[in-house]
């Protein structure tokens, strides 16, 4: 009598593939792939797959065989990788605004901008203030892909209703435009990352004056030489030179406060050169590089302030090369902060009755560049003097050159008219003499 020996765990060859009963009692399926490799059954997420019954394993083998025959089979690892990528992409597309905005601001902080340089600390801080102050309260965890034109217009309407802290009567508050700019920067990056098909088609409103109304005369932003003198006289002695440096050397506030003794070069002929090399950063309180390479420049110091500058250096500035020209205390080593200067300027401006309302310290620089343009400076010379990298900014001084152009045009007209008039008189006199001779 022959006994049939039961072999537990041995592979049972099927018509295609093979089955094996595991010690656990479950069944494992193996099959040859079209790439010539042998595969065991795996789940879609590439984990081991076993079956409760032999029939279940056979059904799975048959289905896999059919996929191979139809050309629909893929290696299990490749299927799992694709599914993970799809799941990741779907999760990314569902990311909320707050999470993505935080990720975006970190990217902006770490990666270089279009210039190839990292963005300034103040720039990143300004972006973050718009995000935390306006955008996150507006959108919170709204998925990025749900922020559309209608939703942005709702936000814009609310922002437009915020009164301007600088001028409550102004139609513009200076908030809406910069907030929209940051929002669109975020959404354009989301489009580049394929989180959304494209950024919403939103036009950014043009920059409007917040400080002044529509009837404001831009000429009021230019002080007269007499008003500059009034400002100099009104400022405290130890810091008064800042007003002259802003007006007649056309310096920005941070450039004034960033000056050191070594930046002023005196020459044997009595002339002097001012080297602009750094700024006192309003955000960090430290010396930092200027915003652009164009800001680094050397300027001839006008004769009208040299004597006062020498006196200021003698009375208020330390002897060290790095001593600040505008120190916190006489001959001190710490530069006056932007914040404290703001208070000093505000008190001084209010005490000078001849100045128009809301006249800024920066308007002194505007004054100097305007007068420089009136003297016939070219746009290139204005860009160099002011440390501008964008010619469109310098074009604002074209009105000054046009005034000069009109003045010269009028002089030319008067001179030509006078010559023509003199010529006519000479002709009339000659004709009169001829008539008298005939008589």
> CB within 8 A of 207, min separation 6: which ones?
177
Ordered by start, the domain boundaries in the chain are 11-81, 104-192, 226-363
What is the C-alpha separation between 348 and 235, in angstroms, rounded? 6
* DSSP E strand stretches across 83-236: none
What is the C-alpha separation between 190 and 306, in angstroms, rounded? 54
The per-residue pLDDT for range 109-131, each reduced to its tens digit, is: 988 877 777 887 878 888 999 99
**188-192, 200-204, 209-213, 233-237: range with lowest mean pLDDT:** 209-213
Which two three-digit tokens encode residue 282? 């309003």
The residue with greater pLDDT, 29 or 5, is 29
- What is the predicted pLDDT for the residue at 8? 43
Report whether pLDDT(217) > 70. no
pTM (2 decimals)? 0.59
> Mean pLDDT score of the chain, rounded to an integer?
85
Contact between 144 and 195 (Cβ < 8 Å): yes
Q: How confident is the model at residue 209 (pLDDT cuts 50, 70, 90)?
A: low
Contacts by 134-138 with C-beta closer than 8 Å and gap 24+?
A: 134/159, 134/175, 134/179, 135/97, 135/101, 135/179, 135/182, 135/183, 135/186, 136/97, 136/98, 136/101
- Pairing status of strand 272-276 against strand 297-300: antiparallel
- What is the predicted pLDDT for the residue at 257? 97
Contact between 239 and 326 (Cβ < 8 Å): yes
Question: What's the whole-number mean pLDDT along residues 196-206?
Answer: 85
- What is the predicted pLDDT for the residue at 195? 86
Sign of CA dihedral 301, 304, 305, 311: positive
Whose tokens are 């056979």? That residue is: 58
Contact between 294 and 387 (Cβ < 8 Å): yes
Report whether pLDDT(332) > 90. yes
- What is the predicted pLDDT for the residue at 408? 67
What is the C-alpha separation between 323 and 335, in angstroms, rounded? 8
Cα distances from 417 to residues 406, 411, 413, in angstroms, run: 16, 10, 6
Contact between 377 and 370 (Cβ < 8 Å): no
CA dihedral 218, 220, 224, 229 (to 10 degrees): -130
* DSSP E strand stretches across 128-257: none
**147-156, 178-187, 257-266, 374-383: range with lowest mean pLDDT:** 374-383
The per-residue pLDDT for range 9-44, each reduced to its tens digit, is: 455 667 789 999 999 999 999 999 999 899 999 998
Question: What's the whole-number mean pLDDT along residues 306-325?
Answer: 96
- What is the predicted pLDDT for the residue at 5? 37
């Amino acid at each position: 009598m022959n006994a049939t020996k039961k072999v537990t765990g041995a592979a049972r060859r099927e018509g295609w593939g093979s089955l094996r009963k595991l010690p656990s009692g479950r069944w494992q399926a193996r099959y040859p792939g079209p790439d010539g490799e042998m595969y065991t059954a795996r789940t879609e997420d590439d984990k081991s797959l076993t079956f409760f019954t032999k029939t279940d394993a056979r059904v799975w083998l048959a289905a896999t065989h059919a996929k191979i025959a139809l050309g629909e089979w893929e290696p299990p690892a490749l299927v799992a990788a694709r599914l993970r990528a799809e799941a990741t992409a779907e999760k990314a597309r569902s990311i909320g605004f707050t999470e993505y905005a935080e990720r975006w601001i970190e990217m902006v902080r770490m990666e270089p901008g279009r210039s190839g340089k990292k963005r300034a600390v103040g720039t990143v801080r300004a972006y973050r203030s718009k995000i935390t102050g306006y955008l996150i309260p507006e959108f919170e965890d709204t998925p990025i892909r749900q922020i559309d034109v209608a939703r942005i217009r709702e936000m814009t309407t609310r922002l437009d209703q915020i009164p301007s802290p600088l001028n409550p009567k102004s139609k513009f508050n200076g908030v809406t435009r910069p907030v929209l700019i940051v929002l669109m920067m975020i959404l354009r990056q989301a489009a580049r990352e394929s989180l959304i098909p494209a950024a919403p088609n939103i036009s950014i409103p043009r920059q409007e004056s917040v400080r002044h109304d529509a009837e404001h005369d831009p000429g009021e932003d230019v002080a007269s030489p007499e008003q500059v003198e009034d400002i100099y006289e009104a400022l405290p002695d130890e810091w008064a030179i800042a007003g002259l440096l802003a007006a007649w050397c056309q310096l920005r506030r941070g450039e004034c406060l960033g000056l050191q003794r070594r930046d002023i070069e005196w020459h044997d002929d009595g002339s002097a050169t001012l080297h602009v090399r750094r700024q006192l950063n309003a955000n960090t309180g430290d010396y930092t590089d200027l915003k652009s390479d164009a800001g680094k420049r050397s300027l001839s110091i006008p004769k009208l302030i040299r004597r006062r500058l020498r006196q200021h250096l003698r009375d208020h500035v330390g002897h060290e090369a790095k001593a600040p020209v505008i120190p916190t205390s006489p001959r001190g080593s710490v530069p006056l902060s932007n914040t404290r200067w703001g208070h000093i300027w505000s008190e001084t401006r209010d005490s000078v009755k001849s100045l128009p309302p809301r006249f800024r310290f920066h308007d002194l620089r505007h004054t100097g560049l305007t007068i420089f343009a009136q003297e016939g400076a070219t746009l290139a010379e204005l860009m160099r003097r002011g440390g501008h990298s964008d010619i469109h900014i310098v074009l604002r001084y074209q009105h000054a050159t046009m005034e000069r152009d009109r003045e010269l045009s009028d002089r030319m007209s008067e001179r030509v008219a006078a010559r023509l008039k003199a010529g006519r008189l000479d002709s009339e006199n000659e004709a009169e003499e001829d008539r008298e001779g005939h008589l």
